[in-house]
Structure 1
Amino acid sequence: MSEAATFSPRPLDRDQPFYVAGHRGLVGGALWRTLETNGFERLLGRSSSELDLTDRRAVFAFFEAEKPTYVALAAAKVGGILANSTYPADFLSVNLQIQTNVMDAALEHGVERLLFLGSSCIYPKLAPQPLKEEYLLTGPLEETNDAYAIAKIAGILGVQAVRRQHGLPWISAMPTNLYGPGDNFSPQGSHVLPALIRRYDEAARSGASTVENWGTGSPRREFLHVDDMAEACLFLMENYDGPSQVNVGSGSDVTIKEIAETIAEVVGYTGDVEWDTTKPDGTPQKLMDVGLINQAGWKARIGLREGLESTVEWYRANAGSLRQ
C-alpha cells in the first residue's frame, strides 16, 4: 500500500443526496435498504432504462441535475463462469464505460465521497490464501473471468488516481462471493450459489432423481450475505480513508460440494448428484483476508445456513417474476 490505511469516524450527512448506481441490483438494492434504515432521506436511483450508464452524455447530465454528495458505484455487468468466458469483450467494455463515466462525472461535479465496488476476482489465480489486499497485480488472473477482473482493477486504480491527483477521500471495497435477496437466478447469468439454489429447488419440486453440477466440487469459496455487505459499505464510507481496496468477507470458506449439499438440505432435495468433471472448476480457492476491516470494528453477522434459508425463502416467493 502506498499510504497507510486510515480508519477514523467521518459520519455522512443523512440530509445530503446519495446516489446508488445499480440500486436495483443485488448489492445496490441491499445498500439502498441499509441507507433507508440508517436515516438517509435523499436517496437517488435510476434503472438502466432510465439512465444508461454507458451513455457518457446522459451520465453527466444526471450528475449536473441531481448533484449527489455521495456515490456508491455498485452498477456493473456481472455473471458467472459461463457468461464471463463467453462474452469477455462485453464484460470488459461495458464495465470500463460504466466506471469511467460515473467517476468522471462525480469528479466534475464535486462528489465528496465515492465508494467503488469490485470483486475478489481481481486477485491472481494462484495467489497465497487468504487473499491479502497487497496481492493485487502480483500474478496472472483466472482465465475464465480475466476481462471482468481487468475492468475492476481499472476501477481501483481510478479511485487511487483521483486520491493522488485531487485529494478526494474516495475508496474501494472488494466483496467476496455475495448472495441473498435480489440475486440473479437465471441459468445463463447466475453465479454459483444462486445457480445451485435454482437447480436443486427445481429438482426437488419436480421429483428429479439426479442433479448435475459443473466441475469436481473441490474448489473452495467464501460466501457473504448481501445485507452484511451493505452494512460494510456504509461502515467503510463513514470510517475508512485510504488508497488500498478493502476486502469484505466472512473470513471462512467451504467447498462447492459442501455448499451444494447444504442447499440440497435446505430445499429438500434427496436425489443423487453427478459432477461433470469436463467443465471448468475456476480458481481453486478464493478466501479473503478480512483482517483490515475486522480490526476496524466490522465483522459479518449472518451465518451461511441462516443466509441460505432466507435466500431460498425469498427465491421461492419471487420465482415467478425472476429473470429466466
Structure 2
Amino acid sequence: MTEGNSVIIVTGGSGLVGQAIKAVIEEENRQETPHSKNETWIFCGSKDGDLRDKAQTDALFEKYKPTHVIHLAAMVGGLFHNMAHNLDFFRENMAINDNVLNASYRNKVKKVVSCLSTCIFPDKTTYPIDETMVHNGPPHTSNYGYSYAKRMIDVLNRGYHEMHGCTFTSVIPCNVFGPHDNFSLESSHVIPALIRRMDDAMQKGETTFTVMGSGKPLRQFIYSLDLARLFVWVLRNYDSVEPIILSVDESDEVTISTVAEMIKKAHSFPGEIVYDTAKADGQYKKTASNNKLRSLYKDFKFTPFEQAIHDTVAWFKQNREHART
C-alpha cells in the first residue's frame, strides 16, 4: 500500500467478513500500529446505499472519496437458495460488481480487492484447484448464476488493468464462517445453518438432529477472523491482478459429518445425528491449493478448526437475539 493517508471503504461491511475485518482493524487501532495512524476505514452496509443502483454507488464514492476499496458486497445464499434463484444471483451480483469497479475507476481508487469464492471453479476439474483454473469450464449447475457473476469480477479486473492500468485484484476464499454470519434457515451456508438448527433442536428438547444430505462431501473452511487478517495483508502487500486463493491447507479439509459432530460437541447436544440422504449433497469436493498464499506469506497461522467452531457457537448463543436469523 502506498505511503500517506489512505481511506478504505469496505462494501458489505456489515456482513460476516466485513465485521471480521472491522474487528482486526479495531485491534490494530488499540495497539496503535503504524498502519492505524495512516488509515481511515469505513464499513458500508446496505443501509448506506444500494450498490445494485449506479447512482447510489456513485453517491457513496463521492461521499467518502476512498483511495482503496475492499469489495465484499454480494447477494449470497446457501445451496438450496442458489438452486431456486440462479437468475437473481447472476443479475444482482453483476450489477453490484460493475457499479463498484466502474466507480472505483472513475474516482481514481488506487487499489480494489474483491471477494470471489471457490464455488466459481469448474464442476468437472482436477484437484487441487488453483488460481489458473477459474475459467476452465462451467461451474456446478446448482449455483451457476452466482458463480458466473463472481468470475466476471476477474474479467473486469483484467479489463481495467489492460485499458486503464488499474490495480484491481481478487481473492478466492474457501468456505467462510464465524461471528456475524447469516444464521437464517432459508439462505445460510452449512455451518451457520447447522449451528442455528441444532440450537433450535435443543430448545425444543429434540433427541435427534437431521443433517440434509449424506454428510460425506468434503470442504475446506476458513474462520472469518483468519480471512480478515489475510484480506488486510492482500490490501497492503499483494499487487498482482491475478486472483489469489485464501484457504486453509488441503490437509485441513473435513467432511460435513465431521463439521456436524464438532458443532454437536460445541453445543453439548446430547442427541443423535442422522442424515437425510434423499436431500442433495451439492458438489462432492472442491479442494483448493493455497500454495501461492503459502509462498508469499509463509508464517501465517490459521485458527484450529475445532476452536473456531467452538467460538462461533459461543458467539451465536450469546447473540442469538440480534444475529441474522
TM-score for the superposition, normalised by structure 2: 0.93
SS in 2 for 1:273: strand
Provide the identity percentage: 31
Are the equivalent residues in 1 in contact too, given 2:113–2:171 (CA < 8 A)?
A: yes
Letter in 1 for 2:318: A
**In structure 2, what is the equivalent of residue 67 of structure 1?**
65
Residues 225 and 12 of structure 1: CA distance in aligned 2, closer, same or farther (over 3 Å):
farther
> Separation in 2 of the partners of 1:45 and 1:301?
24
> Separation in 2 of the partners of 1:32 and 1:14?
21
Are the equivalent residues in 2 in contact too, given 1:20–1:32 (CA < 8 A)?
A: no
Runs of at least 5 residues in structure 2 that lack an aligned partner in the other structure:
29-35
Which deviations, in whole Å up to 9, do the C-alpha atoms of 1:54-106 show, x marking residues without a partner?
11012112212321000000111111001111111111111111111010001
Tell me, yes or no, if structure 1 residue 30 matches structure 2 residue 20: yes
Q: Deviation of residue 14 (structure 1)?
A: 6.9
> Separation in 2 of the partners of 1:128 and 1:269?
38
Moved more, 297-306 or 165-174: 297-306
Which deviations, in whole Å up to 9, do the C-alpha atoms of 1:179-199 show, x marking residues without a partner?
001100110010001111112
Residues 291 and 182 of structure 1: CA distance in aligned 2, closer, same or farther (over 3 Å):
same
Which deviations, in whole Å up to 9, do the C-alpha atoms of 1:246-268 show, x marking residues without a partner?
10111121000111111111111
Which deviations, in whole Å up to 9, do the C-alpha atoms of 1:163-194 show, x marking residues without a partner?
11111222110000000011001100100011
Aligned residues: 314
> Separation in 2 of the partners of 1:37 and 1:16?
18
Tell me, yes or no, if structure 1 residue 274 matches structure 2 residue 264: no
Are the equivalent residues in 2 in contact too, given 1:27–1:229 (CA < 8 A)?
A: yes
SS in 1 for 2:135: coil
Which deviations, in whole Å up to 9, do the C-alpha atoms of 1:103-157 show, x marking residues without a partner?
0001001000100101110101132222111111112211111110000000111
SS in 2 for 1:17: strand
Are the equivalent residues in 1 in contact too, given 2:18–2:72 (CA < 8 A)?
A: yes
**In structure 1, what is the equivalent of residue 313 of structure 2?**
312
**In structure 1, what is the equivalent of residue 292 of structure 2?**
292
- Say which structure, 1 or 2, has more relative contact order (CA 8 Å, 6+ apart): 1
**In structure 2, what is the equivalent of residue 6 of structure 1?**
none
Runs of at least 5 residues in structure 1 that lack an aligned partner in the other structure:
1-10
User: Runs in 1 of length 4+ with deviation above 6 angstroms?
Assistant: none
Are the equivalent residues in 2 in contact too, given 1:80–1:192 (CA < 8 A)?
A: yes
> Separation in 2 of the partners of 1:323 and 1:236?
28
Q: Deviation of residue 203 (structure 1)?
A: 2.0
Residues 84 and 300 of structure 1: CA distance in aligned 2, closer, same or farther (over 3 Å):
farther
> Separation in 2 of the partners of 1:14 and 1:37?
21
Q: Deviation of residue 300 (structure 1)?
A: 4.2
**In structure 2, what is the equivalent of residue 322 of structure 1?**
323
**In structure 1, what is the equivalent of residue 259 of structure 2?**
259
**In structure 2, what is the equivalent of residue 149 of structure 1?**
147
Q: Deviation of residue 12 (structure 1)?
A: 4.8
CA RMSD of aligned residues (A): 1.5
> Separation in 1 of the partners of 2:276 and 2:14?
34
Q: Deviation of residue 220 (structure 1)?
A: 0.1
Residues 37 and 162 of structure 1: CA distance in aligned 2, closer, same or farther (over 3 Å):
farther
Which deviations, in whole Å up to 9, do the C-alpha atoms of 1:192-242 show, x marking residues without a partner?
011111122222333211111111111001100011111111111222122
From 125, 128, 131, give the equivalent of 1:127: 125
Letter in 2 for 1:88: N
> Separation in 2 of the partners of 1:14 and 1:211?
54
Tell me, yes or no, if structure 1 residue 217 matches structure 2 residue 215: yes
SS in 1 for 2:10: strand
Are the equivalent residues in 2 in contact too, given 1:28–1:75 (CA < 8 A)?
A: no
Q: After TM superposition, list the pairs within 5 Å mapping 1:149-228 onto structure 2.
A: 149-228=147-226
**In structure 2, what is the equivalent of residue 21 of structure 1?**
11
TM-score for the superposition, normalised by structure 1: 0.93
